Amino acid sequence: MVKKDVLIIGGGPAGLAAAVKLKKLGVESILILERENHLGGILRQCIHDGFGLTRFKEALSGPEYAARFVAEVQAMDIAYETSTTVLEITADKKVTAVSQKGLQEYQAKAIILTTGCRERTRGAISIPGTRPAGVYTAGVAQAYVNLKNIMVGKRIIILGSGDIGLIMARRMTLEGAKVEAVLEILPYPSGLPRNIEQCLNDYNIPLFLSHTVTDIKGKARLEGVTVSQVDEQFKPIPGTERDYACDTLILSVGLIPENELALMAGVELDSRTKGAIVDENYQTNIEGIFAAGNALHVHDLVDYVSLEAENLAEAVAEYLRQGSLPPCPILIETDSLIGYTVPQKISGLKDFQLSLRVKKPFQNCSIQISQNGELLKAKKMRKALPAEMIQIKVIKSDFLTNEIANLRISVANS
Amino acid sequence: MENLTRNFICILCPNSCEITASFNNDGILRNIDGFSCQKGAEYVQQEIYNPRRNIATSVKVTGGELPLVSVRLTKAIPKEKIFEVMTEIKKVTLQAPVSLGDVIISNVLGLGADVIATKDVPRI
């Protein structure tokens, strides 16, 4: 049994940033466990640029952004094991992992879950039709094209306007494929406006809102799809069917935080984020188990993942020093137009970073934080989109009193 | 007098500012509005007169841990040159090792941008 102060599960952007920050805060006994044979996580296949604008004030590609953190990990001599899959974690912070060296057992004082997220698949959205080859999730297609030099198809339909789908529309076009259309079931795009602009509009790729795939055709290989318009309840409207010939269907229909390990340890999940319920310290309901990054809630920008992991690292360092963290009895409630918040509970004793998403697009609105019916803070926004995570720094002096009263987050048109 | 305007979404950062450029009747740029930083105003000017983009793709590598190394341009090139530059990049095959920052093609097509590696690909 190997003993460590901190075990970090997942060596992607969140895990790397947490490790570097912990070491800077004087925590020496750290081990990162990574399933792939390289550190860097999903950034390794995100070869497009635009990463790091907030953090490094320059537009880097995904691999470059990851390399900066990997270089720090190596320079600071932080231990890591790659090609190592964690099989189990327990509430008393025992970790079982397997690698070519065999089965490894660890005992940690704190576990940081930075396991990232997974893609929703065809099964998750139940598209009818046959089951031919040629139906890929966007991230899988991206891995084939950007890591393995395998072109996935020539004539492509993309379902879902999430950022990875948009990025793949451009990528496939650059590689000589014809992207016929991007379909989005919602009446507004799921990805960032800049990606609609530079990935679709630049290449004249049409985006059809309120449309979805209602049939998949082909035997061995995909031959075509049927596309239908949908009504407000997302039900296909009869008579609107249109057939597209294509050899590839790329699905960009959402990401789900990866929490199988968390569940084993008894970590409670939030049905909205599909990630752990955490307090302002990013601590889950299991003492000493923390989560950040896409494992906690799906982010649109890696810069925010790094920041979140660094905030988490400060709390973990505090936890190691004190042996525990203050209780967090104040719940953060939301009105029906707020998708979720992270954290979901706070102590009321310190400043914290509030992350949230609105459920539908707003123009000229304000995000309001109130307690006991009194407005504590309002953030005015020219626009608020579900695609863009909103972050608000809430400082302790914003609180009315020290009494335990839940915070309420709402959005109002102004 | 008709007010001629054109709307842009700035692609430089995730704020995705909606910026409006207005022109007088001779098509001369009169005003740019809606940006939240100077870069946005400059982007729209560039977008009107000489739209430019950076591109990221990959280059074949032999004898490496990966069959590809990811690359990007050191600065944006005219939008209409994107596919010509892609053709140039596709002609290249590298021998591992390749290091992050290696210049793969310097001054591609005389456009003033270098193609650089954005990843290490060690030899196997």
Question: Is pLDDT larger for residue A404 or for residue A202?
Answer: A202
- The reply to whether B60 touches chain A by the CB within 8 Å rule is yes
Q: How far from A344 is each of A42, A63, A260, A283, CA to CA, in Å? A: 26, 32, 20, 11
In a domain, B10, yes or no: yes
- The whole-number pLDDT of residue B28 equals 87
> Is A174's CB within 8 Å of B9's CB?
no
Question: Is pLDDT larger for residue A406 or for residue A340?
Answer: A340
Question: Which residue among B9, B83, B119 places its CB closest to the CB of A197?
Answer: B9
B86 plus B41 within the same structural domain: no
- The reply to whether B54 touches chain A by the CB within 8 Å rule is yes
- The whole-number pLDDT of residue A408 equals 92
pLDDT in tens, A373-397: 889 999 999 889 898 899 999 998 8
In a domain, B27, yes or no: yes
Instruction: Chain A: give the shortest CA distance to residue B24, in Å.
Output: 25
pLDDT in tens, A289-302: 999 999 999 999 99
In a domain, B108, yes or no: yes
- The reply to whether B81 touches chain A by the CB within 8 Å rule is no
Residue A400's pLDDT band, with cuts at 50, 70 and 90, is low
Question: Is pLDDT larger for residue B37 or for residue A285?
Answer: A285
> Is A194's CB within 8 Å of B14's CB?
yes
- The reply to whether B16 touches chain A by the CB within 8 Å rule is yes
B60 plus B113 within the same structural domain: yes
pLDDT in tens, A152-185: 999 999 999 999 999 999 999 999 999 999 999 9
B42 plus B67 within the same structural domain: no
B46 plus B64 within the same structural domain: no
pLDDT in tens, A258-283: 999 999 999 999 999 999 999 999 99
With 0-12 / 13-18 / 19 or more C-beta atoms within 10 angstroms meaning exposed / middle / buried, residue A201 is middle
B39 plus B62 within the same structural domain: no
Which residues are CB-contacts of A331 (< 8 A; sequence separation ≥ 6)? A344, A345, A406, A407
With 0-12 / 13-18 / 19 or more C-beta atoms within 10 angstroms meaning exposed / middle / buried, residue A197 is middle
In a domain, B123, yes or no: no
- Please give the share of chain A, as a percent, with pLDDT higher than 70: 99
Partners of A108 in the β-ladder: A4
- Which residue, chain included where needed, has tokens 């490094």? A56
pLDDT in tens, B52-102: 999 999 999 999 999 999 999 999 999 999 999 999 999 999 999 999 999
Residue B36's pLDDT band, with cuts at 50, 70 and 90, is confident
- Tokens matching residue A249: 């269907």
- The whole-number pLDDT of residue B14 equals 79
Amino acid type, A412: A
Cis peptide before B97 (omega within 30 of 0): yes
- The reply to whether A378 touches chain B by the CB within 8 Å rule is no
- The whole-number pLDDT of residue A46 equals 97
DSSP code, position B37: S
3-state secondary structure of B113: coil
Tell which phi-psi region holds residue B112, choosing left (phi > 0), alpha (psi between -120 and 50) or beta: left
B74 plus B106 within the same structural domain: yes
Give dist(CA A88, CA A333) in Å, integer: 32
- The whole-number pLDDT of residue A362 equals 94
B46 plus B78 within the same structural domain: no
Give dist(CA B100, CA B48) in Å, integer: 34
Q: Which element (helix H / strand E) includes B46?
A: helix B38-49
- The whole-number pLDDT of residue A70 equals 98
B101 plus B62 within the same structural domain: yes
pLDDT in tens, A32-59: 999 999 999 999 999 999 999 989 999 9
pLDDT in tens, A203-254: 999 999 999 999 999 999 999 999 999 999 999 999 999 999 999 999 999 9
Domain that holds residue B43: 4-50
Instruction: Chain A: give the shortest CA distance to residue B68, in Å.
Output: 6
Three-state SS string across chain A, please?
CEEEEEEEECCCHHHHHHHHHHHHCCCCCEEEECCCCCCCHHHHHCCCEEECCCCCCCCEEHHHHHHHHHHHHHHCCCEEECCCEEEEECCCCEEEEEECCEEEEEEEEEEEECCCEEECCHHHHCCCECCCECEEEHHHHHHHHHHCCCCCCCEEEEECCCHHHHHHHHHHHHCCCEEEEEEECCCCCCCCHHHHHHHHHHHCCCEEECEEEEEEECCCECCEEEEEEECCCCCECCCCCEEEECCEEEECCCEEECCHHHHHCCCCECCCCCCECCECCCECCCCCEEECHHHCCCCCCHHHHHHHHHHHHHHHHHHHHHCCCCCCCEEEEECCCEEEEECCEECCCCCEEEEEEECCCEEEEEEEEEECCEEEEEEEEEEECCCCCEEEEECHHHCCCCCCCCEEEEEEEC
* Structural domains of chain B, count: 2
> Is B57's CB within 8 Å of A47's CB?
yes
B29 plus B70 within the same structural domain: no
In a domain, B124, yes or no: no
B40 plus B68 within the same structural domain: no
- The reply to whether A58 touches chain B by the CB within 8 Å rule is no
DSSP code, position B12: S
- What is the pTM assigned to this prediction? 0.94
In a domain, B83, yes or no: yes
- The whole-number pLDDT of residue B1 equals 46
- The whole-number pLDDT of residue B3 equals 67
- The reply to whether A82 touches chain B by the CB within 8 Å rule is no
In a domain, B122, yes or no: no
Cis peptide before B14 (omega within 30 of 0): no
pLDDT greater than 80 at residue A138 = yes
B23 plus B62 within the same structural domain: no
- The reply to whether B70 touches chain A by the CB within 8 Å rule is yes
Instruction: Chain B: give the shortest CA distance to residue A298, in Å.
Output: 16
B85 plus B105 within the same structural domain: yes
- The whole-number pLDDT of residue A402 equals 62
Q: Please state, rounded to an integer, the average pLDDT across all residues of chain A.
A: 95
Partners of A363 in the β-ladder: A383
Q: What is the CATH number of the domain that holds B89?
A: 3.10.530.10
In a domain, B70, yes or no: yes
Partners of A31 in the β-ladder: A7, A79
Task: Please report residues of A whose CB lies closer than 8 A to that of B9.
Answer: 193-194, 196-197
Instruction: Chain B: give the shortest CA distance to residue A41, in Å.
Output: 13
Mean pLDDT lowest among A176-190, A211-225, A342-356, B14-28: B14-28
Q: Which element (helix H / strand E) includes B43?
A: helix B38-49
